[in-house]
Structure 1
Amino acid sequence: MSRKGPVTKFKWMPLPKTEKAESLNNPYCGLYAIYRFYADSAMLQPEGKMVEQISINTAHQLCLVEINLLPYNEMPLSEKAINNIERIFQYFIIQKKQMIVRFVYDWEGKGILNEPKDITIILNHMKQLSLLLKEYANNIYIVQGLFIGSWGEMHSSRYLSDRNMARLAKQLYECTGENTQIALRCPSFWRMLFQTYKPLDAETGYTDIQKARFSLFNDGMMASEVDFGTYGDIKAIDSKEYSDKWVREDELKFQSELCNYVSNGGEVINECAYNDPTLAISTLREMKVSYLHSEYDEQVLHKWKKSKCGFALWKEKTAYDYITAHLGYRFTLEEVDLSLASDKSGNIKVSIKITNMGFSPCYHKFEVKLIIRTAALFVVHKCTADTDTRKWLPNEKVLLEAVLPAAEWLTEKEHKQYQYSLCMGIYDPLSEQPIKIANTFAALDYTGVYSLGNFILGN
C-alpha cells in the first residue's frame, strides 16, 4: 500500500531565463489599424469591402473601429443601423480582437457642421447604443471620445463647454460596460470633468467611481511642444481653472500618474525633434503609452525603423522594434527560487521576482497560476498566486511568494527520488488568452504554461 514519506532530499535546478528582444503580441496593447464604417452600412470605408471580407493583421490584438453616425445627425438611429453596428462588432469578436470603438459624425474636419445641432440627439444615440455597448463590454476595451468634434477628436465642436461635456460624459459612462474605459482627448478634459487637479491614485484607481473609468488618447502625440493643442502654456502651479491646458512638462507628469490606472494611446504625427527615437522612447514611457496607430505618421514610423536602438539587448534591433515591443505591459522574470522549509513540514517555499519592462501597466487582473508537474507532465499541484497584475507598474519588481505542500506528492515507498517541474502561467479571463512573458523559456503547451525550473524531492 502506498504511503507518504517525509521530504529529506531536495535540489532546485532553475532554467535559464534570458530576456528575448521581440514583441510578444499580448492582449490590450501594441499597434492597431483603423476600420471605418457608416452606421447604415457594414461596408468598410473607403475600400468598399463588406465587413466579413476584411483581412486583419494577425499581429494586432487591438483594432480601432470607427462608426460614422452622420446619416443620423438629425434623427434617432434606425433598427438597420443598430443591426449593422452589431454585425461589425461580431466580426471583430470572431477574429478575437479587442476593440477600441469611436463614434463620430465627421471624417472631413468639419465637426461643427456635421455633428447634431441638438445635444439631445447625441445623448439619445448613446442611449440607443447602450444595449450593444454593454452586451459586448468584454470585447470593447475603450470607447474613444464623446462622439463630438472633427474626426471624433473632441475639438471643433459646439459641445466643449463644461456643462455639455459633463452631460455627454455621464451619459456615455452609464451606457457602457463596467470594464470599458472612456478615453478623453486631452488631460485638461479629465481635470475639467472631474473638477480636480489630482489624478487617480491607489485609493481611487480600479474602483467603481466614475472617474476611474476615464482614460486618455492623443492623436497629436509628440507632434510639437504642445502636441498640436493637446497641451498649453500654463504651469500647473499657476492654474486657476480645471480646464486649463498645462505646459508640456506638467502634462506629462500628470499623465504619468493618471495612467498608472487607465490607458493612454493614439497616433504619432509630424516628424520633428519631439519624436526622435531617444526622446520618443522616454516620452512614451513617461506617458505610459500602451497602443499606437500602425500606419500614421509614416514619416515618424520610418524614422524609427531606420534608427538603431541603443539598449544592449536590443542593439541589433531598431527603435521601432523596441517601441512596438514595449507598448503596454511586458512581464520579465528576474529570479526564481525554491527552498525547503526549515520547519521540517515538507513544504517548499517559492519566490518569483517579476519586472514589468513595458511602458504601462496591463490594466487587467490576470490569473497567475503556479503549477507543479511530473516529468511526464502530470499535474500534482496547482494554485493561484496572491497578486493583482493591474498593480505591476513599469520598472517595479513584483515578488510572488507561495508555500507548496511537497510532502503530499511523495506517495510511494521510502528512499525514492522524484523529479518535478515548477511552472507558471498567466491567463486573461476576458480575452481567454494566455499572457506571454519576455523570457526565453519555452511554453510547454498552448495554454501558455512556462517551465521555470526542475527540482528533485526524495524521502
Structure 2
Amino acid sequence: MKKKARLLLLFAGVIIIVGMCFMGMRWKIAWEAVNFVESDKFLANRERGFYNMRGIRISDDSPVSGEILEGISREHPMETLELLQIHIGTYQDREISSSGVEQIRRVFRAYADREQPVSLIVRFLYDWDGNGAQSDPASISIVLRHMEQAGELLEEFQDQVYIVQGVFVGSWAEMHSSRYLTERSYLTLIGRMHEVMPENVFLAVRTPAYWRMAAGRTEPLQESEAWKTQEMISRLSLFNDGILGTWLDCGTYGDLHKEDSESLSDSWVRSEELDFQKELNLYVPNGGEVVLDNALNDLENADEALRTMHVSYLNRAHDMQVLEKWKNTQYRDSGSVYDGMSGYDYIERHLGYRFVIRDVSAKISGWKWEKPSLTVNVENVGYAPRYTACRTEIIFRSRESGEERTVTADTDARTWKPGEQTSFTVELPELPAGAYDVYMKVTGEKDRTAVLFANEKITAEDGGCFLGTIKKGE
C-alpha cells in the first residue's frame, strides 16, 4: 500500500513538473482595441472625388502667363484631383515648338509646387469649340509626333499624372467628330499612346466599345491580367462625358445585344454595357461628367448606376443642373451614418474608394513556437477600388520610449473591392516587455501620400490610424 502511494506521489510530481515546463512554453499578451465608428466626414484622398477642371492654351505668340502659373500653385488648395486640358491647336501643322514644350513643362512644375498636391487627369486636345474635324491636324503623323512629345514631358512628371484621356483628336478630344477615329486610325493612335506614355499612368478611352477594339476581344479585364502595366489592356480605362444624360449615355451605349454584335466596334445595349463596366472597372478607373437633368440622374438612380460602373471621379462644374438637384436632395437611410446628408455630399463621399476599419482582433496567447498576431478587417464602402499600389504598415510605438517597430502587411489595397470586407493578419515583431500603441498606415507608392480612413477620432497627424494598445509582460 505504501509502495503504491509513493508511486502515485511520484507520478503526480512528474505531472506537476511537466505542467510547469509547458506553462513556461506559453506566452500571453493583453490587447485593447479602440472602438471603430464609421465617419461621414470628407476625406482628402488622392485619385478620387469631384475634380476641378482647368484649360491651358499653348502658343508661341501668347505664352502661358505667370498669373496662370500662380493660380495653379495657389487656387483650390483643398483639391486632390484636377482635369488639366492642354490645348495644342496652334501646332496642328507642325510639332510642338521648344517654346511650347517649355510652357507645358512650366505648367506641370507649377502643380509640383502646390502645398496640397493633386492627382492630374490630363487631356491634350486641338479643339474647344466642337469643331473636331476642322481642328485636327491634316496628317495623322503630326498627331503621332505630338503624342511622342507629350510622352517625353509626362515622363518627367509621371508621379503627378493619374490618367491621360483620349487620343488627342475629335471635338473636345472626346473621341468623336474626327476622321482619325476609323478603326485602323484609332488603333494606330491608341497603340502609340501605349508606347510613349509613362507606364505607371492610366490611359482612358471614351466608350467600352473603344476599349474592346483596343483589347481585340469582347471580355473585360480579369484580375489575373490586372496591374501589368506593360500590357495595354491592363492600364486602359474609361471616361464618359455623357453619364446618365440619356438611356444611351449620350452615345456611349447602343442598341445591339452582345450576342448579335458582329464587330468589336459595336456598342451594346445599356444593361450589357453596365455589366461590362461592373467587371472591367474593378481594375481600371472610370469617371467623367453627369449631364442633362432627367430621371436617370435622380439621386437613387444615380447612386445605383455610379456604384455599378465603379465611378471614381466626376466633374464638379458640369452639369450644374444635375449637381444642384443632388445638393437639394437628401439621402435617406435610417441605418446609415450618411442619413440626412445632401445627395451631392453622399455621392462625393462614395466616389472611388472609401475604407472603413471595422475591427482589429489579436491572438493573445499561444505556445512559444507560435507568434502573437493582429488581424485587421477593412471594408470598402466606396463605389470603386483604389487603382494604384499602396504599402500597408502596422507600427508598434513604445509608450515608454517612443521607439517604433514597423511590420509591412502582406495585403494589396487594390484588392479591397467595393462593397466587400477584407481581412489580413500580421505577426507581431519581437517586442520587449511594455505597453505599445499600435497604428496602421497605408501609403500610396506612386503619390507617397497617406490614405485616410473613414473612422471617427483615430487618425494621427501623419495620416496613420490608431488601432489600439498591446501590453506585453516579461
Tell me how far 1:440 sits from its aligned partner. Answer: 1.1
Distance 2:52 2:361 in 1: 41
- Specify whether residues 113 and 365 from structure 1 end up closer, same or farther in structure 2 by C-alpha distance, changes over 3 A only: same
Q: Is the 8 A contact 2:29 2:365 kept in 1?
A: no
1:269 aligns with 2:291: yes
Q: Is the 8 A contact 2:133 2:178 kept in 1?
A: yes
Q: Is the 8 A contact 2:27 2:367 kept in 1?
A: no
Tell me how far 1:12 sits from its aligned partner. Answer: 1.7
Number of the residue aligned with 2:451 = 435
Tell me how far 1:433 sits from its aligned partner. Answer: 1.1
1:394 paired residue among 396, 415, 418: 418
1:228 aligns with 2:250: yes
Tell me how far 1:90 sits from its aligned partner. Answer: 1.1
Tell me how far 1:322 sits from its aligned partner. Answer: 1.0
Distance 1:101 1:377 in 2: 47
Higher helix share: 2
| Per-residue Cα deviation, 1:291-322 (whole angstroms, up to 9, x for no partner) | 11011111101111111112321112111111
Give the secondary structure class of the aligned counterpart of 1:11: strand
Number of the residue aligned with 2:385 = 361
Give the secondary structure class of the aligned counterpart of 1:421: strand
Q: Is the 8 A contact 1:100 1:141 kept in 2?
A: yes
1:113 aligns with 2:164: no
Give the secondary structure class of the aligned counterpart of 1:313: coil
| Per-residue Cα deviation, 1:196-254 (whole angstroms, up to 9, x for no partner) | 00111012111121111110000111101001111111111221110101111111111
Distance 1:29 1:119 in 2: 33
1:444 aligns with 2:460: yes
Number of the residue aligned with 2:199 = 178
Tell me how far 1:9 sits from its aligned partner. Answer: 4.6
Distance 1:377 1:441 in 2: 24
Distance 1:139 1:380 in 2: 31
Q: Which amino acid aligns with 2:468?
A: G
Distance 2:210 2:64 in 1: 33
Distance 1:158 1:56 in 2: 37
Distance 1:368 1:252 in 2: 32
Number of the residue aligned with 2:473 = 458
Number of the residue aligned with 1:166 = 187
Q: Which amino acid aligns with 1:355?
A: E
Q: Which amino acid aligns with 2:255?
A: D
Give the secondary structure class of the aligned counterpart of 2:184: helix
Distance 1:321 1:42 in 2: 38
- Specify whether residues 310 and 143 from structure 1 end up closer, same or farther in structure 2 by C-alpha distance, changes over 3 A only: same
- Specify whether residues 377 and 236 from structure 1 end up closer, same or farther in structure 2 by C-alpha distance, changes over 3 A only: farther
- Specify whether residues 441 and 379 from structure 1 end up closer, same or farther in structure 2 by C-alpha distance, changes over 3 A only: farther
- After TM superposition, the structure 1 stretch with the greater mean CA deviation from structure 2, 114-123 or 130-139, is 130-139
Distance 2:368 2:470 in 1: 18
- Specify whether residues 6 and 421 from structure 1 end up closer, same or farther in structure 2 by C-alpha distance, changes over 3 A only: farther
Number of the residue aligned with 1:69 = 88
Number of the residue aligned with 2:109 = 90
Tell me how far 1:129 sits from its aligned partner. Answer: 2.1
Identify the structure with bigger relative contact order (alpha carbons < 8 Å, sequence gap 6+): 1
1:370 paired residue among 394, 407, 410: 394
Q: Is the 8 A contact 1:6 1:346 kept in 2?
A: no
Distance 1:58 1:128 in 2: 30
Q: Which amino acid aligns with 1:424?
A: M
Q: Is the 8 A contact 1:133 1:175 kept in 2?
A: no
- After TM superposition, the structure 1 stretch with the greater mean CA deviation from structure 2, 371-380 or 151-160, is 371-380
Report matched runs for 1:285-304 at 5 Å. Answer: 285-304=307-326
Q: Which amino acid aligns with 2:426?
A: A
Q: Which amino acid aligns with 2:143?
A: I
Distance 1:380 1:300 in 2: 49
1:422 paired residue among 435, 438, 452: 438
Tell me how far 1:374 sits from its aligned partner. Answer: 2.0
Distance 1:433 1:203 in 2: 27
Q: Is the 8 A contact 2:27 2:365 kept in 1?
A: no
Tell me how far 1:329 sits from its aligned partner. Answer: 0.6
Distance 1:289 1:160 in 2: 25
1:216 aligns with 2:234: no
Unaligned residue ranges in structure 2 (runs of 5+): 1-23
Distance 1:421 1:235 in 2: 57
Q: Is the 8 A contact 1:7 1:457 kept in 2?
A: no
Identity %: 35
1:191 aligns with 2:206: no
Give the secondary structure class of the aligned counterpart of 1:434: coil
Number of the residue aligned with 1:137 = 158
Report matched runs for 1:15-54 at 5 Å. Answer: 15-40=34-59, 41=62, 43=64, 49-54=67-72
Number of the residue aligned with 2:4 = none
Moved beyond 6 Å, runs of 4+: none
Number of the residue aligned with 1:283 = 305
Give the secondary structure class of the aligned counterpart of 2:167: coil
| Per-residue Cα deviation, 1:349-370 (whole angstroms, up to 9, x for no partner) | 2111111111111111111001
| Per-residue Cα deviation, 1:7-57 (whole angstroms, up to 9, x for no partner) | 75532211111000122110111111111111225548xxx9422234432
| Per-residue Cα deviation, 1:265-306 (whole angstroms, up to 9, x for no partner) | 111110001100011011111101111101111110111111
Number of the residue aligned with 1:413 = none
Give the secondary structure class of the aligned counterpart of 1:50: helix
- Specify whether residues 112 and 369 from structure 1 end up closer, same or farther in structure 2 by C-alpha distance, changes over 3 A only: same
For the aligned residues, what is the CA RMSD? Answer: 1.7
- Specify whether residues 377 and 66 from structure 1 end up closer, same or farther in structure 2 by C-alpha distance, changes over 3 A only: farther
| Per-residue Cα deviation, 1:87-135 (whole angstroms, up to 9, x for no partner) | 1111112222111110111000000011112111101111122211222
Tell me how far 1:419 sits from its aligned partner. Answer: 2.2
Distance 2:224 2:469 in 1: 40
Tell me how far 1:376 sits from its aligned partner. Answer: 4.5
Tell me how far 1:424 sits from its aligned partner. Answer: 0.7
Q: Is the 8 A contact 2:132 2:172 kept in 1?
A: yes
Distance 1:56 1:252 in 2: 36
Tell me how far 1:453 sits from its aligned partner. Answer: 1.0
Give the secondary structure class of the aligned counterpart of 1:401: strand
Distance 2:346 2:401 in 1: 35
Count of aligned pairs between the two proteins: 443
Distance 1:346 1:182 in 2: 47
